């Protein structure tokens, strides 16, 4: 049976509400979505046919500031997935204490089946359809699965053309030439690295001697694979949607990145040294640090018992279900939760937004320094709460994030 990610979200809220003793009105508030918009996006395909796609933009909460969250283009995108992703963004921004709320969006489409011109028309028309509910002080989209800097550039251009002036702050993750920030593309991977480095230090583990397995080899998975490989770690296996590739002696990540950057799948990688494995096998292969960096609901009650690692570092959003969380906790596996582990992306997106509004740009050294500072502050806070109250890292992170949102609701009160 398919797991509904928004049901997972609500269960996570119940778990933390019980730990915190939150009152039921606040719980009711937190489980609701502020605004969701479903749009039809008609485009003319290159062969002249009309095709209509479905698109979504959801704002879970703007009580702490404008909505912030990525746009996903995938055939699996649906309203409940987007609602879940938007809610996780609320917690993530709150955990980092950014003055932003949580939002997310996407289009139900397989972008690999579109030409570049079709992809551009789809993106521009989608922007027009959601134009009234996005903007620098309303809701600021960014890249997520299958969307990139070029797509953000088209959104910025479409939005600006309609508004009659250039407004770079409407999206983040843009190319640096048009108001993007240096360091944004690698920010999520960099953030994962800062967090795992800090966590290994706490556990007295030497990061370089940890054996790593990564599911997902796109922006997040590819970047963290490359950082860890170049730091001297052994990356035993990586995967994409086509399947995984495994070598108990370690893979050459630079060569694999060269391959996938040509648009090729890992399963087609031509060599006779590595073994091809499925995503399911990859997740249950023995290693020290497992990094799910593809999508939600990958570690569930069905396979959690098979997981053989010391630490799970969540690169993807929502890769572990609450049932799996409990099993992993009982097994003594540390799970560094998504809202902390992969928060580097939204952190540098926030820097990009600040730079756009101020029209003053920072260098990479400042970006990475401030990124590390903000992430480690959040990490230390989560680690301390988790130790003090004997909570999992996820529940600890949630208590911090949720309490800030609850406080904002209480201070603002209910209008009218
Ligand atoms: P991406 O499109 O760059 O890469 C996704 C990767 O996952 C690809 O290798 C793809 O082949 C693989 N994949 C897709 N479906 C899969 C499946 N069913 N099984 C196995 N592999 C699959 O996307 P990304 O930006 O790297 O995002 C990956 C995850 O990280 C998502 O959960 C996203 O929400 C999350 N995330 C991304 C960012 C960011 O800045 N891009 C920030 C925070 C969190």
- Model confidence pLDDT, tens digit, residues 109-125: 999 999 999 999 999 99
User: In angstroms, rounded to a whole number, what is the distance separating the alpha carbons of residues 145 and 181?
Assistant: 19
Q: How far is CA 288 from CA 190, 197, 200, in A?
A: 19, 14, 11
Q: For a ligand 1 pocket test, name from 191, 224, 294, 300 the mutation site with the most ligand atoms within 8 angstroms of its C-beta.
A: 294
Residue 104 bears catalytic tag: yes
Q: What is the mean pLDDT of the chain?
A: 97
What integer is the mean pLDDT of 306-311? 98
% pLDDT > 90, the chain: 99
Ligand 1 atom 18: residue of nearest CA: 241
- β-strand partners of 174: none
Q: Given a cut of 90, is residue 1 above it in pLDDT?
A: no
3-state secondary structure of 275: strand
- Residues having CB closer than 6 A to ligand 1 are 143-146, 188, 215-221, 239-241, 279, 293-295, 315-317, 342, 345
pLDDT of the residue at 67: 98
Q: Given a cut of 90, is residue 329 above it in pLDDT?
A: yes
Q: Given a cut of 80, is residue 133 above it in pLDDT?
A: yes
The residue with tokens 């992993």 is: 328
Distance between Cα 109 and ligand 1 center (Å): 15
pLDDT confidence band for 230 (50 / 70 / 90): very high
Distance between Cα 316 and ligand 1 center (Å): 6
- Which contacts qualify for 281-288: CB closer than 8 Å, 24 or more apart? 281/244, 282/213, 282/215, 282/237, 282/239, 282/244, 282/246, 283/213, 283/215, 283/307, 284/308, 285/213, 285/236, 285/237, 285/246, 287/211, 287/212, 287/213, 287/236, 287/237, 288/205, 288/210, 288/211, 288/212
Q: Given a cut of 90, is residue 98 above it in pLDDT?
A: yes
What integer is the mean pLDDT of 298-322? 97
Q: For a ligand 1 pocket test, name from 220, 263, 264 the mutation site with the most ligand atoms within 8 angstroms of its C-beta.
A: 220
**What's the pTM value of the predicted model, to 2 decimals?**
0.96
Q: Given a cut of 90, is residue 270 above it in pLDDT?
A: no
pLDDT of the residue at 205: 97
Q: Given a cut of 80, is residue 322 above it in pLDDT?
A: yes
> Which residue of the set 104, 174, 234, 372 is catalytic?
104
What integer is the mean pLDDT of 40-64? 98
């Amino acid at each position: 049976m398919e797991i509904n990610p928004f049901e997972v979200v609500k269960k996570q809220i119940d778990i933390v509400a019980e730990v915190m003793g939150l009152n039921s009105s606040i719980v009711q508030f937190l489980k609701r979505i502020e605004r969701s918009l479903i749009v039809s996006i008609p485009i003319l395909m290159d062969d002249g046919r009309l095709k209509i796609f479905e698109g979504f933009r959801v704002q879970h909460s703007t009580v702490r500031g404008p909505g912030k969250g990525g746009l996903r283009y995938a055939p699996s995108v649906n309203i409940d997935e987007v609602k879940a992703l938007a809610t996780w963004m609320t917690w993530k921004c709150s955990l980092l204490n950014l003055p932003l709320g949580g939002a997310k969006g996407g289009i139900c489409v397989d972008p690999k089946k579109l030409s570049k011109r079709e992809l551009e028309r789809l993106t521009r028309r989608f922007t027009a359809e959601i134009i009234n509910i996005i903007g620098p002080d309303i809701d600021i989209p960014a890249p997520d699965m299958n969307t990139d800097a070029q797509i953000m550039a088209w959104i910025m251009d479409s939005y600006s053309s309609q508004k009659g002036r250039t407004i770079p702050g409407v999206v983040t993750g843009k190319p640096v030439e048009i108001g993007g920030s240096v360091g944004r593309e690698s920010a999520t991977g960099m953030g994962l690295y800062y967090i795992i480095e800090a966590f290994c230090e706490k556990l007295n583990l030497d990061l370089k001697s940890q054996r790593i397995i990564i599911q997902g080899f796109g922006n997040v998975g590819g970047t963290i694979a490359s950082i860890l490989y170049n730091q001297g770690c052994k990356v035993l296996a990586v995967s994409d949607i086509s399947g995984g590739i495994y070598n108990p002696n370690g893979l050459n990540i630079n060569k694999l990145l060269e391959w996938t950057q040509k648009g090729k799948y890992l399963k087609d990688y031509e060599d006779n040294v590595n073994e091809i494995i499925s995503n399911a096998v990859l997740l249950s292969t023995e290693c020290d640090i497992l990094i799910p960096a593809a999508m939600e609901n990958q570690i569930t009650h069905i396979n959690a018992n098979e997981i053989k690692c010391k630490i799970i570092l969540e690169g993807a959003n929502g890769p572990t279900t609450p049932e799996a969380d409990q099993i992993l906790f009982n097994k003594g596996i540390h799970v560094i939760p998504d809202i902390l582990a992969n928060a580097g992306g939204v952190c540098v997106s926030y820097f990009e937004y600040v730079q756009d509004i101020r029209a003053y740009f920072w260098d990479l050294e400042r970006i990475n320094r401030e990124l590390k500072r903000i992430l480690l502050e959040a990490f230390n806070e989560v680690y301390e709460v988790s130790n003090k109250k004997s909570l999992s890292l996820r529940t600890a992170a949630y208590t911090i994030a949720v309490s800030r949102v609850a406080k904002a609701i209480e201070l603002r009160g209910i209008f009218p």
